[in-house]
Amino acid sequence: MLLAEQALNGLQYGMMLFLMAAGLTLVFGVMGLINLAHGSLYMLGAFACAWVAAATGSFALGLAASLAAAAAAGVLVEVAVIRRLYARDHLEQVLATFALILVFSEGTRWVFGSFPLYLTLPAALSGAVTLPGGLQYPLFRLAIIGVGAAVAVGLWLLIARTRLGIRIRAGEADREMVAALGVDIARLYTLVFALGAALAGLAGALVGTIQSVQVGMGEPVLILAFVVIVIGGIGSIKGALVAALLVGLTDALGKALLPALFARFMEVSAANGIGAALGSMLIYILMAGVLIWRPQGLYGARG
């Protein structure tokens, strides 16, 4: 029972990471841009959701606001700052987008203050449901798993089945050729960036609802999102999904199982300490292992 619940926790965590990593990997893969400010867009989505949900009393409007606000901020940032960075090297991109983190964090602190905001779950999504097998699990966390799966299917359809998807894939392969064929590459980039931003905003709103909405909430998640796209292979949505679930499950199951494992041959409190410490290292060990085996990531195209 504990294992099943932890597996669900890992799945939910993985789906949340996927929403973050999908945008990051698209931007990185298609545009060749390292965007450290992705975590700020996540935070922005959470604040927009909290603010609109508190003002209107409707959680659905809050979610819509998180998508809209993060996408709008994404467009603004892309046009004003990022556009100038495509031709520069990665170090300058890192520097500029790190500056954006500071601007967004201080700006948000200025508007909303330093005190964390807390969202109330809508009545329809609150409480726990009993799953087959008798396990009780919070409905909202199940909903996050559902949203993540829906986004994964939606993204796959978008990339594999639509004209926009063809352009995105073409832009990834050879941007000069695509531009020469008459595709407005600048607009395409803005669109991709806004899409990634909106997904980050959605992830922020969903996570902010079960945890708390505060300045600086995006940076710890950003690090994990980078781990995910490195494991999955840069630019691959499928890789991001598989890697996100792998990371989520490794983290949740590792933290649950390792202390119990160590408790078999040592004192409980020491086992707790060592198990927890090793549990939080597991995903990085996983990353190192994958990189040794496949340096380009699980589904990475570039060798």
CB closer to another protein, 10 vs 196 = 10
* Among 42, 140, 189, 299, interactor with another protein by CB under 8 A: 140
Segment near another protein (CB under 8 A), from 62-70, 76-84, 137-145, 187-195?
Answer: 137-145
Rounded to whole angstroms, the Cα distance separating 233 from 22 reads 11
CB of 148 to another protein, least distance (A): 15
CB of 222 to another protein, least distance (A): 15
CB closer to another protein, 13 vs 42 = 13
By the rule CB under 8 A, 252 interacts with another protein: yes
Segment near another protein (CB under 8 A), from 60-68, 124-132, 160-168, 181-189?
Answer: 124-132
By the rule CB under 8 A, 141 interacts with another protein: yes
How many CB atoms lie under 10 A from the CB of residue 86? 14
DSSP-assigned beta bridge partners for residue 137: 129
Q: Which of residues 204-223 bind another protein (CB under 8 A)?
A: 210-212, 214-217
CB closer to another protein, 115 vs 173 = 115
List the Cα angle 188/192/194 in 5-degree steps. Answer: 115
By the rule CB under 8 A, 122 interacts with another protein: no
* Among 272, 274, 278, 294, interactor with another protein by CB under 8 A: 272
By the rule CB under 8 A, 123 interacts with another protein: no
CB closer to another protein, 91 vs 123 = 123
**Whether the Cβ atoms of residue 104 and residue 111 lie closer than 8 Å to each other:** no
Segment near another protein (CB under 8 A), from 24-32, 50-58, 74-82, 135-143?
Answer: 135-143
List the x/- string, 91-110, binding to another protein by CB under 8 A. Answer: ---------------x--x-
CB of 257 to another protein, least distance (A): 11
CB closer to another protein, 74 vs 279 = 279
By the rule CB under 8 A, 236 interacts with another protein: no
Residue of 259, 250, 241 lying closest to 289 (CA atoms): 250
SS3 track for the chain: CHHHHHHHHHHHHHHHHHHHHHHHHHHHHHHCCCCCCHHHHHHHHHHHHHHHHHHHCCHHHHHHHHHHHHHHHHHHHHHHCHHHHCCCCHHHHHHHHHHHHHHHHHHHHHHHCCCCECCCCCHHHCCEEECCCCCEEEHHHHHHHHHHHHHHHHHHHHHHHCHHHHHHHHHHHCHHHHHHCCCCHHHHHHHHHHHHHHHHHHHHHHHHHHCCECCCCHHHHHHHHHHHHHHHCCCCHHHHHHHHHHHHHHHHHHHHHHHHHHHCCCCHHHHHHHHHHHHHHHHHHHHHHHHHHCCCCCCCCCC
* Among 29, 39, 138, 297, interactor with another protein by CB under 8 A: 138
Residues at the contact surface with another protein, assessed by CB under 8 A: 1-2, 5-6, 9, 12-13, 106, 109, 114-116, 118, 120-121, 126-128, 136-141, 210-212, 214-217, 252, 255-256, 268-269, 272-273, 276, 280
